[in-house]
């Protein structure tokens, strides 16, 4: 059970960032996998909210989309989407927004819209959904995605969801509440915003990962904190819970879920 892969390390590291009892607005995919792992391990009282209206969702398998019936069936209650955004999110009641991304930059801004020119894109991505509002209004934001030159870019083709804008106090200048992104968790490391600049720097390397690997897989001149730590490896309990969740999801849907 002590052996684990990079995807498992990423999911476990992200799950650990959710505190027990926190109210979390969850994105589909990797964020949902990490959030539900937290619920199944150290944070049984975490309140998971999805864009379609479920509050306190406790799915036994990972949802295919925000419209998956598993979310509504296992929720404490279901409310209209408008209430989710206006009362819960914009009302300041969301502790953590948990988001994925197609691309991210050094200030935690996210692109889920297009790759290439907006009017003639190379790739048309799924789009914004509720991510701009989550990124803008949640008290804190966590971002999870696999690391590579195509995903960690120096300049986004399109800013779908604002993180720290142009860095420094730009987010505050824009009038956005909350702290914005507080961590980017990848399959290689954990990044956190540097005090003052709000540029994301590496604060923790996952076991076996080198600085050179992180540099090679980052599209900007990535910097490292003065005291970079090593991420604690997944425990047997965490791995068992994650693998059981993936197995149940695969049996239900034919896929493990959260693999994008």
pLDDT tens digits, one per residue of 135-186: 999 999 999 999 999 999 999 999 999 999 999 999 999 999 999 999 999 9
pLDDT at 40: 98
Whole-prediction pTM: 0.95
Helices 6-15 and 30-40: angle between axes, nearest 10 degrees: 60
- The Cα-based distances of 122 to 102, 113, 116, 130 in angstroms read 13, 11, 5, 23
Mean pLDDT of 187-199: 98
pLDDT at 2: 64
Give the pair of three-digit tokens for residue 17.
Answer: 């960032």
pLDDT at 13: 98
Reported as half-sphere exposure (CB side, CA atoms, 13 A), residue 89 has a value of 29
CATH topology of domain 6-144+153-185+236-251: Glutaconate Coenzyme A-transferase (3.40.1080)
Mean pLDDT of 48-67: 95
pLDDT reading at 258 higher than 90: no
Instruction: Write phi, then psi, for 81 (nearest 5 degrees).
Output: -55, -40
DSSP at 194: P
Reported as half-sphere exposure (CB side, CA atoms, 13 A), residue 128 has a value of 12
pLDDT at 254: 79
Q: What are the residue numbers of the active site?
A: 51
Whole-number Å distance between alpha carbons of 152 and 143: 12
Q: Which of 64, 151, 59 is nearest to 105 (CA)?
A: 151
């Amino acid at each position: 059970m002590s052996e684990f892969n990079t995807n498992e390390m990423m999911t476990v590291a992200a799950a650990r960032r959710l505190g027990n009892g926190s109210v979390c607005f969850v994105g589909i995919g990797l964020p949902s996998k990490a959030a539900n792992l937290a619920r199944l391990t150290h944070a049984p009282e975490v309140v998971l909210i999805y864009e379609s209206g479920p509050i306190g969702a406790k799915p036994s398998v990972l949802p295919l989309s925000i419209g998956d019936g598993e979310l509504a069936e296992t929720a404490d209650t279901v409310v209209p989407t408008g209430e989710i955004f206006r009362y819960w999110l914009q009302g300041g009641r969301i502790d953590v927004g948990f988001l994925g991304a197609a691309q991210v930059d050094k200030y935690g801004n996210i692109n889920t819209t297009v790759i290439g020119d907006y009017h003639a894109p190379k790739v048309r991505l799924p789009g914004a959904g509720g991510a701009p509002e989550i990124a803008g209004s949640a008290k804190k934001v966590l971002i999870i995605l696999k690391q590579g030159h195509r995903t960690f870019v120096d300049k986004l083709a399109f800013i779908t969801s604002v993180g720290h804008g142009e860095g420094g106090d730009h987010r505050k200048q824009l009038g956005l509440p909350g702290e914005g992104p507080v961590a980017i968790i990848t399959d290689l490391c954990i990044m956190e915003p540097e005090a003052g600049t709000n540029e994301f720097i590496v604060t923790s390397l996952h076991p076996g990962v080198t600085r050179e690997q992180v540099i090679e897989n980052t599209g900007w001149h990535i910097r490292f904190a003065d005291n970079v730590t090593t991420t604690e490896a997944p425990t047997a309990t965490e791995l068992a819970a994650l693998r059981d969740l993936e197995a149940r999801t695969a049996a239900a849907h034919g896929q493990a879920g959260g693999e994008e």
